Structure 1
């Protein structure tokens, strides 16, 4: 069976490294070594702690960790995670804030299915929750989904988004981040044609590959340099015997993680070297910046083979979204049919994953929208993660996005506000 032995071998290597780290930590922590004035034991113990934690995190889904939010009354309000729509490959999860009047902004965060869990957007959720009601697409790890549940490709992903938007209703603001940007655009166009009453109010597209050829990056160069046969041979394996999805063809999370790290190998090597040195000196902490970042970064999930391969072939190679030629469940989606949804593009000046121009290409496809229904923002100095997390997001992008949502929240899609501005001008 294709790749099953390789999949289990990767898990065995991960498990062995976790065990070696735990063994080194335990061995070097015996009290007797306190009688030996040799820093080797502190260094070995530190290496063991960091190694054990790092390899253990690779198979654990992080917690959201959003326990409460401060309301306008100054009190902490408990936040509960509620699954409103449960599906085999992903849920629609709501962060319900108790004992707080419902906020008028209803926001659907479309999380990427690109190696990391939706918890990668934890800080995005936390920053929006005081002012919005938040839902998010919480995708499942493919290794845990039985083969009997069938396939899941980019068409299925798009139909999941369609169903989630229908569930939430027309008073919704959709915020898609990174990989799902073209599919969120397609889902909105699908609704515009087949169920216009379920369209969201606004659609904010943040750093995604609508047209990968608009600006080259290492990601697009790789997509062009390999054939689909080579990609399937190199990347696809079957889930091993340890998990419920045994036998399912996947692009393993551990393999993806190797690719992530290789892109910035020196930076990651220095970060772990510094962490081990700090731990040996007793200067590290359980919740320091290193642990906060790598607990999330190292937590990876398998994605279905058909989703990964169809993304590369149809989004990057054939550019079906960029050419307005995307087909979902036998229906050709026409992005020009979007006429009542305001669309905002957000890009980072230094984004090396989805370079400026790739996401902006969406505005050229939206021929059915008026100019006042379209907007764009290029964040100076921001990289890929900076446009949805960190200082650039908090200080600049988040306020702009919420202003855009508010400007187009009325039933007339913002026409009343536009008339008011014109009449007062």
Structure 2
């Protein structure tokens, strides 16, 4: 599988399906087709419309689409996106709300690098932006990064987070969503030992695999079923000549997308069949629920081979974070060194990616952190997506996270001590 031809074949198949969809849509749209009022022609046109859009989305990085937000003054304020720290494999970007006084809360959202772009957290950003200064990690598509830039594995990822936290400063409140949760925890421990003044104020871990063995899912079982040799031979490909990263070994986004879709193939098939029917009847819209979801879901990016393989081997197979045996650039990471950063975990009761128990395991590793700075929340009825971008996030989890940040904004003051986090009705205090 590790050949340019294999990578180019996948891109050729994607491009061909996009072309077929565009052709069917164009043919059905010819005025002459009106002479043959056959519903089948309308269905062909609708199939082409949905197919072209779907396969075209796979090769495009989505736009953030956050143009303005309302503020306390009753006015809408324009939002601009600025890169404040640029690196070859990812940038730290900030959402600037023009004309609004700076907010006291500074939040760093650590987006997952698991096949989708950081825009997967668009709704998360939009929900937090009215109440905080928002920064987010914007990871780059590996196929667009020249081989000359070198490798990028989970140790490099962790060091990127360290640099991003230092850039924002000790007032940062870090929220890590899914895949980066264990590495955000490691980056915080790295700072706790080597640069305590740069530690974030709070760390919120949402649905992350701190201890994948705490509650098995199809994702963790997959890591157990295959050997690293099998994974390298079947999943890793070399970027073709079409892209700047020609020759780089990657785990292709298209291959990851196939895995995503296969997990709920019947549900996705039904969704596309229904969308084709709606388009043929003229009931679909450019920004309807189907397109809003799949424009983001289908937009995928490649990961470097070393990042993907080291994640599977060191996080899922060897459990280095769960065993507190993670090493970064030759430096052993001791999570017990975290003594002042308040840490909260959030899990969804129906999460089939990072099942309940995997994320909350972080609190047991924080042996140097007092119980008053530990908190957890289990959201009833919530799946994986819902705990950071769905209804559960909007209605329940977001307010809890903001309250947690505020409660630990100035831990040295009596005011913060009067409102201990563990007394909240929806937050459970855990013992280390």
State the TM bucket, normalised to the shorter chain. over 0.9
Structure 2 CA distance, aligned partners of 1:19 and 1:103? 47
CA-CA distance at 1:418 after TM superposition: 1.9
- Tell me the distance in 2 between the aligned counterparts of 1:303 and 1:360: 27
How far 1:420 moved relative to its partner? 7.0
What pairs with 1:54-93 in structure 2 (closer than 5 Å)?
A: 54-93=54-93
The answer to whether the Cα contact below 8 Å between 1:94 and 1:136 also exists between their aligned partners in 2 is yes
CA distance in 2, matches of 1:420, 1:153: 41
The within-5 A match list for 1:223-302 is 223-302=223-302
Shift of 1:421: 6.6
- 1:37 CA displacement: 2.4
1:177 maps onto 2:174 in alignment: no
Name the structure 1 match of 2:383.
Answer: 383
After superposition, give the CA deviation of every residue in 1:304-347 in whole Å (9 maximum; x if it has no partner).
00000000000000000000000000000000000010000000
Q: Is the 8 A contact 1:29 1:41 kept in 2?
A: no
**Which residue in 1 is equivalent to 2:416?**
417
CA contact (8 A) 1:348 1:378 kept: yes
Correspondences of 1:23-422 after superposition (within 5 Å): 23-410=23-410, 412=412, 417-418=416-417
Gap runs ≥5 in structure 2: 422-432
After TM superposition, the score normalised by the length of structure 1 is 0.98
Identify if the C-alpha distance between structure 1 residues 34 and 138 changes in structure 2 by more than 3 Å, giving closer, same or farther.
same
Match of 2:428 in 1: none
Give CA deviations for 1:200-226 in whole Å, capped at 9, x if unaligned.
Answer: 000000000000000000000000010
| 1:316–1:421 distance in 2 versus 1, CA, 3 Å | closer
Alpha-carbon distance in structure 2 between the residues aligned to 1:91 and 1:249:
21
Structure 1: which 5+ residue stretches go unaligned? none
| Secondary structure, aligned partner of 2:65 | coil
Asked if 2 retains the 8 angstrom alpha-carbon contact of 1:146 and 1:246, the reply is yes
* Aligned-residue offset at 1:390: 1.6
Residues in 2 aligned to 1:278 and 1:8: alpha-carbon distance in whole angstroms: 34
> Which segment drifts farther, 34-43 or 349-358?
34-43
1:279-309 Cα deviation digits (max 9, x unpaired)? 0111100000000000000000000000000
CA distance in 1, matches of 2:410, 2:98: 26
Q: CA deviation at 1:416?
A: 5.2
Query: Could you tell me how far apart the structure 1 residues matched to 2:360 and 2:377 are?
Result: 9
Q: Is the 8 A contact 1:4 1:237 kept in 2?
A: yes
Query: How many Å separate the matches in 2 of 1:421 and 1:256?
Result: 42
Contact 1:176/1:206 (8 A) holds in 2: yes
C-alpha change, 1:130 and 1:421, in structure 2 (3 Å) is closer
Deviation of 1:415 after TM superposition, in Å, equals 6.5
CA distance in 1, matches of 2:73, 2:340: 36
CA distance in 2, matches of 1:5, 1:35: 45
Asked whether the 8 Å contact 1:178–1:354 carries over to 2, the reply is: yes
- What is the DSSP-based 3-state SS (H/G/I as helix, E as strand, rest coil) of the residue aligned with 2:130? coil
CA contact (8 A) 1:176 1:205 kept: yes
Structure 1's 280 and 79: CA in aligned 2 closer, same or farther, altered over 3 A? Answer: same
Partner secondary structure for residue 130 of structure 1: helix
Alpha-carbon shift at residue 32 of structure 1 (Å): 1.4
User: Do 1:2 and 1:237's aligned partners in 2 also have CA atoms closer than 8 Å?
Assistant: yes
How far off is 1:411 after superposition? 5.6
Residue 417 of structure 1: how far off its partner (Å): 2.0
- What is the SS of the residue equivalent to 2:87? coil
CA distance in 2 between partners of 1:221 and 1:68 (Å): 43
Please give the alpha-carbon distance, in whole angstroms, between the structure 1 residues aligned to 2:44 and 2:167. 53
Deviation (angstroms), 1:2: 2.8
The SS at the match of 2:310 is helix
1:183–1:420: structure 2 CA closer, same or farther, 3 Å change rule? closer
Query: d(CA) in 2 for partners of 1:399 and 1:80?
Result: 25
* TM-score normalised according to structure 2 size: 0.96
Secondary structure, counterpart of 1:358 in structure 2: coil
Deviations 1:242-294 (A, max 9, x none): 00000000000000000000000000000000000010111100000000000
